[in-house]
Amino acid sequence: MSTARFPSPTRPITNEGPFRALLLENIHPSAEEMLAAEGFQVERLSAALKPEELAERLKGVHLLGIRSKTTVPASALVNAEELLAIGAFCIGTNQVDLVNANTHGIPVFNAPFSNTRSVAEMVLAEVIVLTRQLFDRSREVHAGQWRKVATGSREVRGKTLGIIGYGHIGSQLGVMAEALGMRVQYYDVMTKLPLGNAQSVPTLDELLATSDFITLHVPATPSTHMMIGADQLARMRKGACLINASRGTVVDIGALSRALRSKHLGGAAVDVYPEEPESNSDGFVTELQGLPNVVLTPHIGGSTEEAQAAIGKEVATSLLKYFKAGATTGAVNFPQVEAPLIPGTHRILNVHRNIPGVLRDINRIVSDLNANIHAQVLSTDANIGYLVMDLDQDVSRPVCDAIAGLQTDIKTRIVS
Ligand SMILES: NC(=O)C1=CN([C@@H]2O[C@H](COP(=O)(O)OP(=O)(O)OC[C@H]3O[C@@H](n4cnc5c(N)ncnc54)[C@H](O)[C@@H]3O)[C@@H](O)[C@H]2O)C=CC1
Ligand SMILES: O=C(O)C(=O)COP(=O)(O)O
């Protein structure tokens, strides 16, 4: 994540099209349909793009849609003068340099709920798959081997599920696991309301030492980076299983591989990896391949038809609300403003450096044009101010041209 570095002011973006959207990583067609219905020219690609390719493709693009594979560092936005907003059609936004996007006046929207049930269901399935060693037995029968054994195969009823990160996914999973008769406990850095009979555990070490299954549902942040390494795996009960469907940076894969090979752990299910391929046609190698009772999936925790269709609509709705009225509610890196459009007024959006005197300068520009401010909403964070301004007179163009001349300007746009 970069610290604040501001771009030079750019010319204002008018409300005259054509407007273009670039959607990467097989984003559900529901998003394309919604954007196209509002007049966007939509380009939809199935794979992620590397930052240098993305930088080229973003010329003249107004909305960018990505999922978890496309990283958007500062270098990807060097040509993105027209870019209004980024939609992360997933939960995680760690792949975007959020501070850089903020200081370029670009809000980033995500879908915080739509795939959470899909992840919880997959993890619950994996708990049973691991404790019954189902994939190994299935592979044997596929290969013509009949190995009917009970040793090491157990019920989940009465076993303890330890959840690290009791947020939207972790808490849903806990409720579902209790329905199977599991005891549920969790560790979270925030105080969280325990659902059902779930119990909060004060330390990660205690959770690790007292659970039969450990499952991770934390975001990728500096505090979760490699939070499960050799020490933490050694604290887990002998024969316990680890499930990671959060982010690949959270678990030390080498240490996990050693804990599995030494038989300290009884199994693992891994959906996310430190390095993941950009498309389905790329090969993939991990040192976990070939280990017994290890379920490896290609980052499909949120990949269900229900989740993807809902995410497509949810994020496209946020992008269009921003495009049409400047609403930033739910943006993960931006001051929040949502002001209803007022018929008969003319809306201007302005992002500027958050330093004293900017509002005075903008209001002077309006008053010098003998225009009246019908409504004005300003919301700020440490770096930027976001101003939504409705004028009674149609002087948007000269006002925007004058604002773009201010050294404090980052991005100005005419909505109506
Ligand atoms: N495999 C997949 O396809 C998917 C993976 N994910 C991953 O799952 C993550 C979690 O998703 P949600 O539950 O919706 O997020 P959330 O934000 O609702 O919950 C995350 C929880 O982790 C806690 N947390 C943060 N840092 C922590 C730490 N160091 N130790 C313990 N707890 C900590 C937070 O307080 C919060 O309660 C996402 O950030 C994403 O990376 C999400 C969807 C699909
Ligand atoms: O929602 C998330 O954070 C996920 O990890 C899902 O990512 P995806 O949309 O499958 O690339």
**The complex's ipTM?**
0.99
Q: Which of 57, 67, 183, 247 is labelled catalytic?
A: 247
Domain boundaries, the chain: 1-110+305-334, 116-296, 335-415
Q: What is the pLDDT of residues 283-336, one digit of tens each?
A: 999 999 999 999 999 999 999 999 999 999 999 999 999 999 999 999 999 999
- What is the C-alpha to C-alpha distance for residues 248 and 30, in angstroms, rounded to an integer? 28
| Fold topology of 1-110+305-334 | Rossmann fold (3.40.50)
- Whether 303 is in the pocket of ligand 2, judged by its Cβ within 6 Å, is yes
Q: What is the pLDDT of residues 28-85, one digit of tens each?
A: 999 999 999 999 999 999 999 999 999 999 999 999 999 999 999 999 999 999 999 9
Which residues, at least 6 apart from 279, have a Cβ–Cβ distance to it below 8 Å?
46, 47, 48
pLDDT for the residue numbered 7? 75
> Percent of the chain having pLDDT more than 70?
98
Instruction: Say yes or no to pLDDT of 138 above 70.
Output: yes
Evaluate the omega torsion of the peptide bond into residue 18 and state whether it is cis, within 30 degrees of 0. Answer: yes
> Is residue 15 predicted with pLDDT exceeding 90?
no
- Helix 358-368 vs helix 396-404: crossing angle, to nearest 10: 140
Mean pLDDT for 269-276 is 97
pLDDT tens digit string along 219-268? Answer: 999 999 999 999 999 999 999 999 999 999 999 999 999 999 999 999 99
Greater model confidence, 407 or 16: 407
CATH of 116-296 given 2.40.360.20, 3.40.309.10, 3.40.50.720, 3.20.20.140: 3.40.50.720
pLDDT attached to residue 9:
63
pLDDT at position 3 is 61
Q: Ligand 1 centroid vs 165 CA: distance in angstroms? A: 6
Instruction: Give the Å distance between the CA of 319 and the centre of ligand 2.
Output: 18
Q: What strands, in cross-sheet order, belong to the sheet with 409-414?
A: 373-380, 384-391, 346-353, 409-414
Q: How much is the average pLDDT of 125-152?
A: 97
Q: How far apart are CA 64 and CA 21, in angstroms?
A: 6
**Ligand 1 site, CB within 6 A:** 91-92, 115-116, 119, 164-170, 187-190, 192, 217-221, 223-224, 227, 245-247, 271-272, 299, 301-302
Q: How many angstroms does the Cα of residue 57 sit away from the middle of ligand 2?
A: 22
Domains 1-110+305-334 and 335-415 share a fold: no
The answer regarding whether domain 335-415 maps to CATH 3.30.2230.10 reads no
Residue from 67, 221, 250 whose mutation best tests the ligand 2 pocket (most atoms within 8 A of CB)? 67
How confident is the model over 183-233, as pLDDT tens digits? 999 999 999 999 999 999 999 999 999 999 999 999 999 999 999 999 999
Instruction: Report residue 340: phi and psi, to 5°.
Output: -65, 145
What pLDDT does 367 receive? Answer: 97
Spatial distance between the Cα atoms of 144 and 150, rounded to a whole number of angstroms: 19
- The mean pLDDT value for 172-187 works out to 98
Pocket test for ligand 2, best of 25, 49, 91 (most atoms within 8 A of CB): 91
User: CA-CA distance, 305 to 315, in Å (whole number)?
Assistant: 16
Maximum pairwise Cα distance, the chain = 87
pLDDT band with cut points at 50, 70 and 90 for residue 1: very low
Mean pLDDT across the chain, nearest whole number?
A: 96
